[in-house]
Structure 1
Amino acid sequence: MPTYNKLVRDRIPDIIQKSGKLYNTRILSHSEYTMALKRKLQEEVNEYLQAGHLKDQGEELADILEVVYALSEAQQMSVDELDAIRRTKAQQRGRFESRVLLIDVQE
């Protein structure tokens, strides 16, 4: 039996059960959940970086976004609040649309 010890989406146990397999789970404390989400974010970013096809990249970006939403909610920040912060930063500092690479800054 493979050991995973990683955070999974809520419906994964149901999917495993419907396949006729047995599994073990436990519910994480809030602090464990936050740490598991951070590890999951790293996992999803790594999967995105390794994805070759555009379809796979889109799937991984969606997974990253899902983890980011869960992290914001775990920190008592709504997705709307998070997006408001994103919009404010975009207005104040810009976005990444112009593809600017900063080489250096002379002091």
Structure 2
Amino acid sequence: MIRHKKLVRDKIPQVVGEQGKKAEFRVLSDVEYKAVLNLKLHEELLEFINANEDDQITELADLVEVVYGILETKGVSIEDFEKVRLTKKAEYGGFKEKLLLVSVED
């Protein structure tokens, strides 16, 4: 038996069952869910960083799905989040110029 204790996507119980395996799942409380989402974000970020080039888009999609879950717990719609992103981009720009800050002198 392998112990995981990690947040999984909603259809994983079905996938595990279709593989002929038995697994134990439990539904988290809202408080637990918020805490575990933060851990999941970290987990998915590490998977993205460590993925080979071909798998990075899939891992990035997982990261975004976790971000959407976090937004939902905060009562923020994807549209409202996008407005925040675009406001910040308008003020500070994006990353198209590939700029690396080397130093700042007072």
TM-score by length of 2: 0.96
Pairwise CA distance, 1:73 = 0.7
Q: 1:101 aligns to what SS in structure 2?
A: coil
Equivalent residue number for residue 97 of structure 1 = 96
Equivalent residue number for residue 61 of structure 1 = 60
Pairwise CA distance, 1:64 = 0.5
Distance across 2 between alignment mates of 1:93 and 1:60: 27
Pairwise CA distance, 1:19 = 1.5
User: How many percent of aligned residue pairs carry the same amino acid?
Assistant: 40
Opposite residue 20 of structure 2, the aligned amino acid is G
1:33-44 equivalent positions in 2, closer than 5 A: 33-44=33-44
Structure 1, gaps ≥5 residues long: none
Opposite residue 93 of structure 1, the aligned amino acid is Y
1:1-107 equivalent positions in 2, closer than 5 A: 1-53=1-53, 55-107=54-106
**CA offsets, 1:82-101, max 9 Å, x none?**
11100000001111110111
TM-score by length of 1: 0.95
Opposite residue 73 of structure 2, the aligned amino acid is A
Instruction: Figure out how many residues of one structure are paired with residues of the other and give that number.
Output: 106
Pairwise CA distance, 1:18 = 1.5
Pairwise CA distance, 1:103 = 1.1
